[in-house]
Structure 1
Amino acid sequence: MKLITTPNLDRHDAFYAELLEAHRGLSEAESQALNARLILILANHVGDLDTLREALELAAEG
């Protein structure tokens, strides 16, 4: 699976608003834990180690 790096998210503003809402009222530690769980859930959905490695490399580049 090749990582999609071009805009591909339908209703991206709505997703961003829901992501912010999910973090509302959480402590920094709770927010970090939510992000970690979300990453693991989405990584499981992707299910391809090469694609996940590519995503990690892109994220590390900043």
Structure 2
Amino acid sequence: MKQARSAWLLTGEPSEIAEQFAGLLWGCLMVRLMLRVVDQPSPRQMVQRAHKATVAFLRLYAQTDAGR
């Protein structure tokens, strides 16, 4: 996150945005897995989840040309 911010790719405090990405990626899945109320996601589902989290994250934190 520090490197992406230094390269003007992301805005925000690196530790905070890393935490936000983890939240978008995991949501409440970890708790639901520990409670055994859901099955472990398939590899395809994990890829889909990562893609959705990345898209949402970039909408929130991607640096725009106007922001420079």
Normalised to the residue count of structure 2, the TM-score between the two structures is: 0.41
Q: Which has the higher Rg, Structure 1 or Structure 2?
A: 2
Q: TM-score when scaled to structure 1? A: 0.43
Instruction: Identify the structure with bigger relative contact order (alpha carbons < 8 Å, sequence gap 6+).
Output: 1
